[in-house]
Amino acid sequence: MASKIVMCDPCSRLNKSSEGFKYCTDCEDTLCTDCAALHSAVKLLASHHLVDVSVTTGNTFNIKKVCNDHEDMCYEFYCSDHDCLICRTCIANTHRTCGKIQPIEVAAKGCKSSSILEDVSKDIASLLISTKTLLEDRQKKKISVRQSKAKVLKEIAKFRQDINDHLDQLENKCRSEVDILERIISQTVGNELADADKRQHVIQEIWQQVGFFTKNGSESQLFIFLNTVRSDISRQAASLQDIIPSLETNDLEFEPLDLISVMKSFGSVKKVLSHVQ
């Protein structure tokens, strides 16, 4: 990766342009070779830290120095009594009686080999482990929720299939009830039909014979015949009167249960608690 060119800050302020090679972490300035040499020569700046410009790529030396309590002030001191950085206003306000207040540069001596660095490093390392665990856990959770979704969808489909099967069974049961009832009613109606057919034959026969005797027989023959069939005819009429009210009048009808309006839902889907491993 080609590193991009950074310009020297002091030169830029003088409207010159030169490439920066060094960076002063105290001044927060990038310096060209000339300016870096000049910087090192100034007694006041002798304690400043110059690093290669390449070190600053992707890093920042720009640390927040503004006091948390006093926006317009910078941290300049360290109070050992309270273990905290403080500004001049802090000293005047809340640390007036504190015994051990040092300028930051003094308090910072030996920081790179101090226990504070060790403690903070340990804390960071353990936090890193915790966040890594958290990250892995959340990744697992994402996968497991996706798997749960697939499982739940399968269960819904299975439930639907079970309902279908159950409905098939109920439908078949209903159909066979229709068959049975239809057979029972049809049997009665069939008997009545056969009976009506027989009656019709008997009466047709009498009718034919009346015609036959009227056309071909003597009057005495017709007379005798008419008198003998008269009682048959009145018997038939009386029997018809008796039978008609008792004829099979039943029919079939289907009355569905109102399942559709009762079934408001298929079931419920909800979040359930599962513990973080």
Residues 83-102 close enough to bind Zn ion by CB under 5 A: 87, 89-90, 95, 98
Spell out the SS3 assignment of the chain: CCCCCCECHHHHHCCCCCECCEEECCCCEEECHHHHHHHHHCHHHCCCCEEEHHHHCCCCCCCCCECCCCCCCECCEEECCCCEEECHHHHHHCCCCCCCEEEHHHHCCCHHHCHHHHHHHHHHHHHHHHHHHHHHHHHHHHHHHHHHHHHHHHHHHHHHHHHHHHHHHHHHHHHHHHHHHHHHHHHHHHHHHHHHHHHHHHHHHHHHHHHHHHHHCCHHHHHHHHHHHHHHHHHHHHHHHHHHHHCCCCCCCCCCCCHHHHCCCCCCCCCCCCCCC
**Does residue 36 interact with Zn ion by CB under 5 A?**
no
- Scanning 7-15, 164-172, 173-181, 198-206 for contacts with Zn ion by CB under 5 A, the matching segment is 7-15
Q: In the complex with Zn ion, which residue's Cβ is closer, 16 or 160? A: 16
**Does residue 32 interact with Zn ion by CB under 5 A?**
yes
Choosing from 19, 52, 69, 155, the residue that interacts with Zn ion (CB under 5 A) is 69
**Does residue 81 interact with Zn ion by CB under 5 A?**
yes
- Scanning 53-61, 71-79, 154-162, 218-226 for contacts with Zn ion by CB under 5 A, the matching segment is 71-79
Q: In the complex with Zn ion, which residue's Cβ is closer, 96 or 270? A: 96
Which residues of the shown chain bind Zn ion in the complex (CB under 5 A)?
A: 8, 10-11, 18, 24, 26-27, 32, 35, 45, 48, 67, 69-70, 79, 81-82, 87, 89-90, 95, 98
